[in-house]
């Protein structure tokens, strides 16, 4: 009940923020700008979808930002450098993201490393590998128009394909979290991991599966951002992990695990995109945009702590 209330508050917050910017700047509410907001939500949204599963288990994944950049670079390597057909390159890049997630899962579930430390190490490794593989230079997809259309193309007029990809990924994630075995076990592990193990569930295997799934979403985000930019930038991912985690928390997923929803995560991602877009339209300097985002994150974390205290009291 309290979790649903926080989700509703997040949605109300989204409406209030959007209404404020609509009044403050006339161009905010135009169709083109709304599509632009949805377009800019794609990468954060995809990362946040996978992160939701991890946080529901009570874990954290700091590697998604640089992991995304590495997957983008690997996609460029497969398609541009190796000359593979772009659909195959996309598939391999997404699977490469799954491999990064698998490493995180094995490190935390099999070897017992704290998720913060394990994924911090993976973050640094991914950051270094992205620079090494790309030789610190962008990889351009100028000769792969099909790859670029994956993001900027329009199956529906004036509606980027990237947004359709996010909608499809959201539907898959929602079904997996609420209807799938993986989702049920993720909630169980986040609520009480010891009791879950005593009930006969292979916690190690399912936690590895959760991190691997998050890695697959990271790989897809890497493909989408490189398709949008028209190039694989090795330093693209810095800061994305914080925005994705913020989106998850703002949407009502508890950092202590056991509670969360995909709908809330999407609302959180939209709030961040609306804030970024509105502040840019108002010509607010980037440093002040970071201040505003930081305040929003603090409010979301405080709300999560208040919710946990309320649950304990009751």
DSSP SS3 for 261: coil
Residues 260-287 have pLDDT tens digits of: 899 999 999 999 999 999 999 999 888 8
Residues 224-259 have pLDDT tens digits of: 999 999 999 998 888 899 889 989 988 888 888 888
* Model pLDDT, residue 311: 61
Question: Among 62-71, 88-97, 156-165, where is mean pLDDT lowest?
Answer: 156-165
DSSP SS3 for 149: helix
Cβ-contact 56, 213 below 8 angstroms: no
**Whole-prediction pTM value?**
0.93
Mean of pLDDT values over 54-62: 95
With a cut of 70, say whether residue 310 has pLDDT above it: no
Mean of pLDDT values over 43-54: 96
* Model pLDDT, residue 1: 60
Query: What does pLDDT average to over the chain?
Result: 91
Cβ-contact 54, 60 below 8 angstroms: yes
* Model pLDDT, residue 156: 86
* Model pLDDT, residue 293: 80
Cβ-contact 51, 244 below 8 angstroms: yes
Mean of pLDDT values over 36-41: 92
Question: Among 139-148, 206-215, 217-226, where is mean pLDDT lowest?
Answer: 139-148
List the one residue out of 162, 141, 142 whose CA is nearest residue 89: 141
Q: What are the b/e assignments for 97-127, b being 16+ CB within 10 Å?
A: bbbbbbbbbbbbbeeebebeebbbbbbebbb
Mean of pLDDT values over 150-168: 90
* 3-state SS record for 215-245: HHHHHHHHHHHHHHHCEECCCCCCCHHHHHH
């Amino acid at each position: 009940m309290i979790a649903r209330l926080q989700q509703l508050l997040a949605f109300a917050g989204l409406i209030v923020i959007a209404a404020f910017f609509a009044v403050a700047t006339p161009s905010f509410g135009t169709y083109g700008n709304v599509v632009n907001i949805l377009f800019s939500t794609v990468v954060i949204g995809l990362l946040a979808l996978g992160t939701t599963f991890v946080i529901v288990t009570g874990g954290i994944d700091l590697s998604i930002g640089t992991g995304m950049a590495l997957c983008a670079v690997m996609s460029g390597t497969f398609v541009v450098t190796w000359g593979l057909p772009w659909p195959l390159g996309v598939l391999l890049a997404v699977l490469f993201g799954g491999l990064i997630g698998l490493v995180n899962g094995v490190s935390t579930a099999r070897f017992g490393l704290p998720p913060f430390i394990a994924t911090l190490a993976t973050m640094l490794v991914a950051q270094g590998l992205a620079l090494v593989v790309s030789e610190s230079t962008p990889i351009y997809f100028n000769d792969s128009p099909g790859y670029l259309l994956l993001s900027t193309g329009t199956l529906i007029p004036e509606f980027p394909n990237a947004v359709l990809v996010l909608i499809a990924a959201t539907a898959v994630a929602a079904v997996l979290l609420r209807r799938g075995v993986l989702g049920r076990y993720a909630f169980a592990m986040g609520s009480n991991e010891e009791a879950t193990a005593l009930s006969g569930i292979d916690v190690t295997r399912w936690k590895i599966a959760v991190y691997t799934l998050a890695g697959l979403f990271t790989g897809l985000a890497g493909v989408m951002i490189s398709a949008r930019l028209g190039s694989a930038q090795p330093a693209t991912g810095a800061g994305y992990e914080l925005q994705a985690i913020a989106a998850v928390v703002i949407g009502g997923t508890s950092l202590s695990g056991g509670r969360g929803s995909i709908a809330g995560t999407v609302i959180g991602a939209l709030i961040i995109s609306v804030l970024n877009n509105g502040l840019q339209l108002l010509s607010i300097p980037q440093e002040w945009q970071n201040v505003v985002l930081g305040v929003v994150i603090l409010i979301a974390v405080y709300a999560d702590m208040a919710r946990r205290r309320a649950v304990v009291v009751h």
